[in-house]
Amino acid sequence: MSKREFTISNEYHYNRTNAIRWIISHLLRNKPFIASFMLASIITNTLYASVPILTGMAFTAVLQGTAAASQLLRIAMLILGVVLVGGLVDLSARLSTEILGKRLATDSRDELYVNLLGKSQTFHNRQRVGDIMARAANDMTQLSNMIVPGVDTIFDSFTSLFITLVFIGLIQPQLLLAPLLYVIVFIFTLRHYSRQLQPVSDEMRDQFGKMNAALTETVSGIEVVKSTAQESQEQRKFAKRARLYRDFFIKNGEIQARYLPPLFLGIALAGAFLHGLFLVTHHQLSVGNLVAYMGLMGIIRFPTFISIWSFNLVQLGIAGAERILTILREETELDENENGYNEQMRGEIVFENVTFSYGDTPVLKHISFRAEPGQTIAIVGQTGAGKSTLTKLVNRIYDVQHGHIFIDGVDVRDWSMDALRSQISTIEQDIFLFSRSITDNIAYGLGQKADQAAIEQAARDAQAHDFILNFKDGYETVIGERGVTLSGGQRQRIAIARALLTDPRILVLDDSTSAIDSATEDEIQKAIRRLLQGRTTLLITHRLSQIRWADKILVLRKGELIDQGTHSELIGRCELYRRIFIHRDRVPTGQLAAEQSQEVPLP
């Protein structure tokens, strides 16, 4: 069983050996619909194949002069009844395959979504969002189309072909010569066609993913595109990718243009007719049976002409399935550890000789420190020193590679992932808000458990309540994706309210007040300091007004912890610490000294 950070109870496990087995394992969950489709298809094609036989019987009766009007009427009514019953049975077959196709797409989409939720942050850092969306949307549609009308049509046509051969054999075994020769040639040419089509289908799906990824990236960064006047450059890049996608369609069309079975079918029909005439002239076959024979040969047209289209759908579906499986089979580094340690946190954090790297690039080296429950630990250092990475090791967004991190004396790897992360809240500088109501965004960490009064209190504590009420719909205001309809300060205050509502035992603040004006920041700091009593806080900031009241300050340089202590201790002995704050905002020394002399009052 692969490692995953998230699973669901009673999850169904599919065969991921290859694309075809994966698809079959999905379909086998719906055996009654498979059985009903196959049975209905066999009955339908049997009924339709009987129509030429009945037509031949009518010809025989007329030619022999024994046909009465009542007999011909009975045959006509019988043909009408066969067609009507066949249509009704065919309707049930189509309904069964529609359900199969939609369930395959739905179950596959659910499987992919749960799988993506269970992947580690390292995995997601490597992915292009547009390509993931192409797999989750377009490739899933190809899966559904592969079943209906793809596999549906193929099974139906080959069932029709087999039943037609049986009926021809019942008329006269000698008549099987032409259709059997054609079927052999048809199968070989179809196999060759499918082999040519497969690599092109794979390339089409892959290129579509790349094109979609580039489009998503451009739309996401549209502000940068417009601010740098690079619309023409992006248009050229997209046009180039679109042309590549078009070229694969052309290759696909060229392969279809060389599809030979229709030519062979014409030869087979001519040969069958000549063979039938030969038997008629030698009194080995009646004219009525010749009519029935040629009517049955006409049914072979259906699998011949439909296969060029249906096999293309199947190849595209298999190519899409392979792309989906690439994601599903990719291993992740972390596991949810469902049976791990699951207790209420006190908030003690201990780093013991911790080392971490992104690939071959070392980020943190031999970090050791202790945070007692309720302490505030400030982390400072120049850009790229590893401050944010250090905090992401605490809740196992990334996993420590060497050394140990303990929370309340238990290694974080021994904690249940849900218990660990549900008691740690993080507020980052780059705030992500969902395109939902403000209420939903604040209550996100608690799901359906939060009541409106608690949501509004958290907003008050984060100094967000007043500006929320200024919106027309108040707390039900729907904000744009990533909170684009809000200012930076408003986004951060909603994020702070979201974190405070979860009542975390450990709180990580990653430069979380950088977009808030000074007056509002003072109020937020007072609220945070009241609410942080008894909670352990990891604080990343360059603002001295926030750092001064930290119980301990960690100074990082190029991933190494070069010193730790209180503000007064570090100012006296750590040159890097002094340099960071002297140049942090490029303000005159007089202004810096004035700010350093200002204390944030305790509540």
CA nearest to 473, candidates 437, 435, 434, 433 = 437
Token code pair at residue 560: 């190494």
Mean pLDDT of 115-120: 87
Q: With respect to residue 528, please indicate whether it lies within any of the assigned structural domains.
A: no
Let me know whether 470 and 575 are in one domain: no
- CATH number where 487 lies: 3.40.50.300
Model pLDDT, residue 9: 78
State pTM to two decimals. 0.78
Let me know whether 105 and 226 are in one domain: yes
**248 with 177: CB under 8 angstroms?**
no
Let me know whether 291 and 146 are in one domain: yes
> With 50 as the cut, is the pLDDT of residue 600 above it?
no
Model pLDDT, residue 207: 87
Model pLDDT, residue 592: 38
Instruction: Tell me the per-residue pLDDT of 222-235, one tens digit each, with 9 for 90 and over.
Output: 877 877 788 888 88
Model pLDDT, residue 468: 92
Q: With respect to residue 571, please indicate whether it lies within any of the assigned structural domains.
A: yes
> Residue 279 half-sphere exposure, CB side, CA atoms within 13 Å?
21
Model pLDDT, residue 586: 45
Let me know whether 165 and 41 are in one domain: yes
428 three-state secondary structure: coil
- In this predicted structure, which of 292-301, 325-334, 469-478 has the lowest mean pLDDT? 325-334
**Reduced to 3 DSSP states, what percent helix, strand and coil does the chain have, rounded to the nearest 5?**
65, 10, 25
Instruction: Tell me the per-residue pLDDT of 391-422, one tens digit each, with 9 for 90 and over.
Output: 999 999 888 889 999 999 999 999 999 899 88
Q: With respect to residue 526, please indicate whether it lies within any of the assigned structural domains.
A: no
Let me know whether 184 and 323 are in one domain: yes
**pLDDT exceeding 90 applies to what percent of the chain?**
38
Model pLDDT, residue 482: 62
Model pLDDT, residue 522: 67
Let me know whether 82 and 52 are in one domain: yes
* pLDDT-derived band at 94, boundaries 50, 70, 90: very high
Beta partners for 476? none
Model pLDDT, residue 588: 42
Instruction: Tell me the per-residue pLDDT of 437-463, one tens digit each, with 9 for 90 and over.
Output: 999 889 887 866 778 898 998 888 888
Model pLDDT, residue 257: 84
Alpha carbon distance 126, 64 (integer Å): 79
Alpha carbon distance 153, 193 (integer Å): 17
How many domains does one find in the chain?
Answer: 3
* Residue 226: domain span: 19-109+121-329
Alpha carbon distance 457, 463 (integer Å): 10
* pLDDT-derived band at 359, boundaries 50, 70, 90: confident
Structural domain ending residue among the three candidates 329, 361, 396: 329
Alpha carbon distance 77, 136 (integer Å): 50
> With 80 as the cut, is the pLDDT of residue 264 above it?
yes
Model pLDDT, residue 585: 44
Beta partners for 365? 560
